[in-house]
């Protein structure tokens, strides 16, 4: 960010208009952060996220008006020093260039609220709203001091030759490092790392829409940081726009490629969103001085850093719902270091702010700028860690930072804002459904409520009795079913031999009844139930043509010679002219027929189907259904 006291009198109305217009665009970034954060959390906390973003503007803007601007640009030379400014509290200036002061205040205030909004994402779903309101005011102080170091004329980093065009240090490093401290002190959300997939998008559509709004706001963020368009500043503004776009598209493409390679050919939203935003952060410090090729390289590296750090945070079980540290802090440091690597002296000559820049390390220059940028990154990071820890620890010991487990399960929308038709009493820890309980019942006396409680108890007891009676009935029914179990049926399974000259023999394999089932079948109860009469098919008629001798039945086989197999019609009755099939165990061909199969019975279409599945004929040959057969373990008698 440029704009010094030496050049203050040279600023025109066009510069002021440019700054204010850019601040309007930056203000819309609050909507983008709100959509991104609300889409990254569960639906029961969406309203609370949006309220926190409003608190960032309300409380953060008020505190920056009260003391933030004074600490950044205060010009009381008796107290103001290289470490903090002093003067112009409540933006009450006596300067003749009041318009320029007000423009600078409005533009820098949008930066201050953005630094606090970054922290909001890391504290989502588990932070008390009253604690966050106090923190929003305190975080303005954490932003203002590094901003004075980097942007004020007498700041100690400015005097060293530090370059940060659009706030990579005071905004993104401060916000990202504070987010890390807050996430560590709050701990993970309830059940956050119980599943293998740590992604927690409640509304992916809102998250992507928030990314687009931030993308749009970042153009005003970087282009407006030229602090004007007069003279040759418009060239820097145009360069900022081009480098911002090239960096972001390169980062987005790199993120999609990494997701495709690392996540089994899946294009994950968190990889894409964090890569685009990380690339936008990485170009902020260098946007007005970078070439398009520099933007491509810086954005690609930023995407890799964002994805790697995001996975590392998940492995360490540090709950950062929006990856604030991975996107803002890590890439904020990379943005500062990239200035010392890619800076070029021939580009800086067009800058009215007179940056003291020489060729970077990648262009054959010295490492002087890289050392300055490294010192600045360490100083801003160290300051943020110490101050944010003090503020958050103070709130943790006094008001308290984290909500209770019950409130976290219910969600901040109900606990803090009474959304969804519920009222949560924080004192009694009770949840009241406002939709079921009208206002008249709420205003009744205690005696009436006690009577109603008694009636409800009686109703509950009656319902319990009904449930017990139903359970008893079900138990009795189960007992009756179990008292008369279904007997296991012994079947004769057929195995068909290859068909030869339209005749075949069937060899049944028998399974014997256990003595208990056999006795049960012949018992009075079995006769009463009528297994024999009910299960015996009407279409089967017993027809006995001859008697098989005891010698032929001792082989445990049964020959069938009056039936042949046809591939199209299944079992067909054998004609008198066809030769008889030989019977096992007897050289003489004993002729007898077992059943008459009617035409309406279902038959297999071919012999292969007969081999593979039980047929209707096979199902008929059951010992309990046909009294013609009595099966034992030794032989089969007809």
Assigned domain for 559 exists: yes
pLDDT at 635 (0 to 100): 42
> Is residue 455 situated within a structural domain?
no
Query: Are the beta carbons of 310 and 274 closer than 8 angstroms?
Result: yes
Q: Look at phi and psi of residue 74 and say left if phi exceeds 0, alpha if psi is from -120 to 50, else beta.
A: beta
Q: Give the pLDDT band (50/70/90) at residue 72.
A: very high
Q: What is the pLDDT of residue 420?
A: 79
Shared-domain flag, residues 78 and 145: yes
Indicate the pLDDT class of residue 468, thresholds 50, 70 and 90. confident
556-566 confidence digits (pLDDT tens): 433 344 444 44
The b/e string for 232-258 (b: 16+ C-beta within 10 A; e otherwise) is: ebebbbebbbebbbbbbebbbbbbbbb
The first and second tokens of residue 211, run together, are 């990314």
268-306 burial string, b = 16+ CB within 10 Å, else e? bbbbbbbbbbbbbbbbbbbbbbbbeebbbbbbbbbbbbb
Q: How far apart are CA 112 and CA 221, in angstroms?
A: 12
Residues 338 and 410 in one domain: no
**DSSP codes of every residue in 391-402:** HHHHHHHTT-SB
Is 365 in the same domain as 436?
Answer: no
Least confident stretch, 22-26, 82-86, 574-578: 574-578
* Rounded Cα distance, 143 and 332, in Å: 14
- How many domains does the structure of the chain reveal? 3
- Please give the pLDDT value at position 523: 52
Mean pLDDT of 159-169: 94
Residue 10 has pLDDT above 80, yes or no: no
393 and 515 together in one domain: no
Please say if the pLDDT value at position 632 is more than 90: no
Residue 562: closest CA among 537, 539, 579: 579
* Contact predicate 504/496, CB 8 Å: yes
Q: Are 322 and 422 contained in the same domain? A: no
Distance CA 137, CA 55 (A): 10
Q: Say if 465 falls within a structural domain.
A: no
Q: How far apart are CA 448 and CA 454, in angstroms?
A: 10
Residue 519, pLDDT > 80, answer no
Domain final position from 402, 430, 464: 402
Cα–chain center distance at 72: 40
Residue 227 lies in a domain: yes
Residue 479 located in a structural domain: no
128 shares a domain with 101:
yes
User: In this predicted model, what pLDDT tens digit does every residue of 576-598 receive, in sequence order?
Assistant: 444 444 444 444 444 433 444 44
pLDDT tens-digit series, residues 600-629: 444 444 444 444 444 444 444 444 444 444
Radius of gyration (C-alpha) of the chain in whole angstroms: 43
Identify whether 622 is part of a domain: yes
Alpha helices in 195-291 (DSSP H): 204-223, 233-262, 269-282
Cβ burial, residue 576 (10 Å; 0-12/13-18/19+): exposed
Backbone dihedral region for residue 489 (phi beyond 0: left; psi -120 to 50: alpha; all else: beta):
beta
Give the residues across from 174 on adjacent strands.
none
Residue 489 banded pLDDT, cuts 50, 70, 90: very low
Do 321 and 125 meet the contact criterion of CB atoms below 8 Å apart? yes
Written as six digits, the tokens of 431 are 């949840």
Which residues fall within 8 angstroms of residue 536, CB to CB, at 6 or more apart? 625, 626
Q: What is the model's pLDDT at position 427? A: 81
Identify the three-state secondary structure at position 593.
coil
Helix (H, G, I), strand (E, B) or coil at 96: coil
pLDDT exceeds 70 at position 436: no
pLDDT band at 502 (very low <50, low <70, confident <90, very high): very low
Decide if pLDDT at 13 tops 90.
no
Distance CA 600, CA 573 (A): 14
Tokens of 352: 């009215």
Report which of 218, 196, 426, 414 is spatially closest to residue 314, judged by C-alpha positions.
Answer: 196
Torsion of CA 462, 463, 468, 470, to 10 degrees: 120
Place 551 in a pLDDT band, splitting at 50, 70 and 90. very low
Q: What is the pLDDT of residue 98?
A: 85
Q: How far apart are alpha carbons 104 and 228 in whole angstroms?
A: 11
Closest CA to 275 of 323, 337, 203: 323
Say whether both 381 and 425 belong to one domain: no
- Report if pTM > 0.75: no
Confidence at residue 383, expressed as pLDDT on a 0 to 100 scale: 98
Count of Cβ atoms closer than 10 Å to residue 165 Cβ: 26
| Residue 387 sits in the same domain as residue 429 | no
Evaluate if residue 135 carries a pLDDT over 70.
yes
Last residue of a domain, one of 381, 402, 423: 402
Between residues 455 and 283, the one the model is more confident about: 283
pLDDT at 571 over 70: no
pLDDT for 328-370, tens place per residue? 999 999 999 999 999 888 776 555 555 667 888 888 888 999 9
Same domain for 510 and 432: no
**When comparing pLDDT for 1 and 325, which is higher?**
325
Q: Which residues contact 144 (CB under 8 A, 6 or more apart)?
A: 64, 67, 68, 71, 72, 84, 85, 112
On the question of pLDDT at 394 being above 90, the answer is yes
Asked if residue 285 belongs to a domain, the reply is yes
pLDDT tens digits for range 226-272:
988 988 889 999 999 999 999 999 999 999 999 999 988 999 999 99
638 versus 130: the higher-pLDDT residue is: 130
Cα–Cα nearest to 398, from 107, 89, 138: 138
For residue 484, tell me if it sits in a domain: no
pLDDT at 498: 46
**Does pLDDT of 83 surpass 60?**
yes
* Percentage, residues of the chain above pLDDT 90: 51
477 pLDDT band, cuts 50/70/90, is confident
Query: What is the chain's mean pLDDT, rounded?
Result: 77
Q: Of the ranges 187-201, 296-310, 612-626, which one carries the lowest mean pLDDT score?
A: 612-626
Confidence class for position 327, pLDDT limits 50, 70, 90: very high
Same domain, 343 and 410: no
Tell me the angle at which helices 129-151 and 98-122 cross, rounded to the nearest 10 degrees. Answer: 130
The CATH number of residue 301's host domain is 1.10.3430.10
Nearest to 550 by CA among 426, 493, 634: 634
Looking up tokens 């609220």 gives 113
Q: What is the DSSP string of 254-280?
A: HHHHHHHHHTTS---HHHHHHHHHHHH
Single residue among 373, 402, 431 that ends a domain in this structure: 402
Name the residue range of residue 120's domain.
Answer: 8-402
| Confidence tier at 1 by pLDDT (50, 70, 90) | low
Residue 352 and residue 411 in one domain: no
Per-residue pLDDT at 114: 95
- Mean pLDDT for 210-216 is 97
Q: Are residues 585 and 631 in the same domain?
A: yes
Angstrom distance (rounded) from CA 1 to CA 285: 9
Task: Indicate the pLDDT class of residue 145, thresholds 50, 70 and 90.
Answer: very high
Where b means 16+ CB within 10 Å and e means fewer, 522-531 reads: eeeebeeeeb
Identify the H or E element spanning 564: strand 563-566
Q: What angle do CA 22, 28, 29 make, to 5 degrees?
A: 95
Q: Are 9 and 93 in contact (CB under 8 A)?
A: no
């Amino acid at each position: 960010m440029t704009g010094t006291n030496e050049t203050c009198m040279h600023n025109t109305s066009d510069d002021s208009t440019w700054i204010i217009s850019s601040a309007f665009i930056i203000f819309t970034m609050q909507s983008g952060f709100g959509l991104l954060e609300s889409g990254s959390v569960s639906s029961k906390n969406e309203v609370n996220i949006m309220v926190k973003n409003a608190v960032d503007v309300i409380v953060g803007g008020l505190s920056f008006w009260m003391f933030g601007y004074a600490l950044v640009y205060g010009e009381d030379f008796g107290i103001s020093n290289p470490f903090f400014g002093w003067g112009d509290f409540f933006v009450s200036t006596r300067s003749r260039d009041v318009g320029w002061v007000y423009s600078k205040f409005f533009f820098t205030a949008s930066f201050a609220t953005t630094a606090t909004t970054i922290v909001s994402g890391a504290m989502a779903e588990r932070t008390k709203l009253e604690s966050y309101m106090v923190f929003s005011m305190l975080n303005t102080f954490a932003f203002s001091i590094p901003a004075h170091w980097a942007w004020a004329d007498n700041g100690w980093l400015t005097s060293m030759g530090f370059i940060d065009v659009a706030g990579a240090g005071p905004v993104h490093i401060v916000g990202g490092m504070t987010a890390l401290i807050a996430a560590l002190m709050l701990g993970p959300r309830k059940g956050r790392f119980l599943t293998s997939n740590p992604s927690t998008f409640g509304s992916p559509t809102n998250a992507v829409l928030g990314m687009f709004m931030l993308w749009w706001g970042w153009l005003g963020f970087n282009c407006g940081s030229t602090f004007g368009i007069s003279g040759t500043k418009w060239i820097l503004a145009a360069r900022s726009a081009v480098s911002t776009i090239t960096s972001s598209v390169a980062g987005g493409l790199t993120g999609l490629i990494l997701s495709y390679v690392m996540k089994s050919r899946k294009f994950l939203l968190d990889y894409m969103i964090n890569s685009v935003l990380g690339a936008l952060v990485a170009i902020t410090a260098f946007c007005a001085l970078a070439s398009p090729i520099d933007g491509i390289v810086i954005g690609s590296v930023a995407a890799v850093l964002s994805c790697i750090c995001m996975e590392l945070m998940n492995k360490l079980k540090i709950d950062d719902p929006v990856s604030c540290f991975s996107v803002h802090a890590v890439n904020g440091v990379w943005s500062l270091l990239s200035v010392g690597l890619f800076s070029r002296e021939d580009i800086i000559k067009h800058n009215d702010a007179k940056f003291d820049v020489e060729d970077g390390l990648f262009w054959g220059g010295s490492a002087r700028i890289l050392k300055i940028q490294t010192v600045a990154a360490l100083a801003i990071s160290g300051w943020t860690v110490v101050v944010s820890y003090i503020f958050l620890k103070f709130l943790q010991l006094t008001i308290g930072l984290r909500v209770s487990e019950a409130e976290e399960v219910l969600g901040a929308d109900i606990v803090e804002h009474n959304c969804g038709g519920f009222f949560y009493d924080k004192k009694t820890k009770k949840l009241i459904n406002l939709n079921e309980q009208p206002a008249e019942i709420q205003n009744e006396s205690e005696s009436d409520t006690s009577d109603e409680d008694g009636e409800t108890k009686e109703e509950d007891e009656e319902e319990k009795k009904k449930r017990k009676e139903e359970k008893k009935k079900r138990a009795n029914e189960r007992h009756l079913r179990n008292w008369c179990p279904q007997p296991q049926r012994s079947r004769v399974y057929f195995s068909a031999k290859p068909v030869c000259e339209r005749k075949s023999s069937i060899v049944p394999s028998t399974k014997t009844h256990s003595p208990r089932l056999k006795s049960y079948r012949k018992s009075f109860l079995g006769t009463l139930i009528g297994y024999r009469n009910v299960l015996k098919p009407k279409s089967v008629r017993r027809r006995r043509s001859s008697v098989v001798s005891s010698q032929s039945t001792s082989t445990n086989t049964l020959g069938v010679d009056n039936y042949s197999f046809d591939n199209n019609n299944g079992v067909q009755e054998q004609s008198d002219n066809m030769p008889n099939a030989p019977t096992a165990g007897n050289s003489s061909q004993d002729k007898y027929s077992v059943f008459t199969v009617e035409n309406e019975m279902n038959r297999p279409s071919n012999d292969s189907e007969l081999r593979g599945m039980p047929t209707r004929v096979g199902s008929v040959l059951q010992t309990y259904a046909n009294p013609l057969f009595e099966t034992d373990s030794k032989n089969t008698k007809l």
